[in-house]
Structure 1
């Protein structure tokens, strides 16, 4: 279940911190709210998004990048990612 709280956003940010991708919040006019620079492994999120927008965007990116729970050393991150992969967004 997705909870639109700061704590849930922190968990998503921790996934990126533990991955090979760098997560940054920047201002910009991204039509979709984010930009992925795959060659540099940087994910840029529009910093003016609401918490709900940031969470939905990060979940979309995680699914697009096909994060694998086995790639994470921390058991909590593995469990959290597995739970996320079973969740579908209803927009």
Structure 2
């Protein structure tokens, strides 16, 4: 899969989080992106001032770290997209 740094690709990543048990939020601040668990709620917080490329790379890193399983998604498109994402290796 070719990694595309477009708004459409970012929307697909955001839709994965919408279909998962995690809540995705964009917040301002001088922090590194990552994820945290607040009061038993699973929340992923991304710096809203990141560039489009930074947001996409961070979300892919978090998806890999959280080890999303395609079988946990009901939507076939989400399952296929996640399967393709798991084969991407970011080179920073």
Q: TM-score, normalised by structure 2?
A: 0.93
2:82 match? 81
Cα distance, 1:35 vs structure 2: 3.4
Q: 2:4 & 2:82 partners in 1: Cα distance?
A: 14
2:34 match? 35
CA RMSD of aligned residues (A): 0.9
Contact 2:34 2:58 in 1 (8 A): no
List per-residue Cα deviations over 1:42-78 (Å, max 9, x = no partner). Answer: 0000000010000000000001100000000000000
How many residues are matched? 89
Correspondence 1:47-58 to 2 at 5 A: 47-58=48-59
Cα distance, 1:37 vs structure 2: 1.6
Displacement over 3 Å in runs of 4+: none
Cα distance, 1:29 vs structure 2: 1.2
Q: TM-score, normalised by structure 1?
A: 0.94
What stretches of structure 2 of length at least 5 have no aligned partner? none
What stretches of structure 1 of length at least 5 have no aligned partner? none
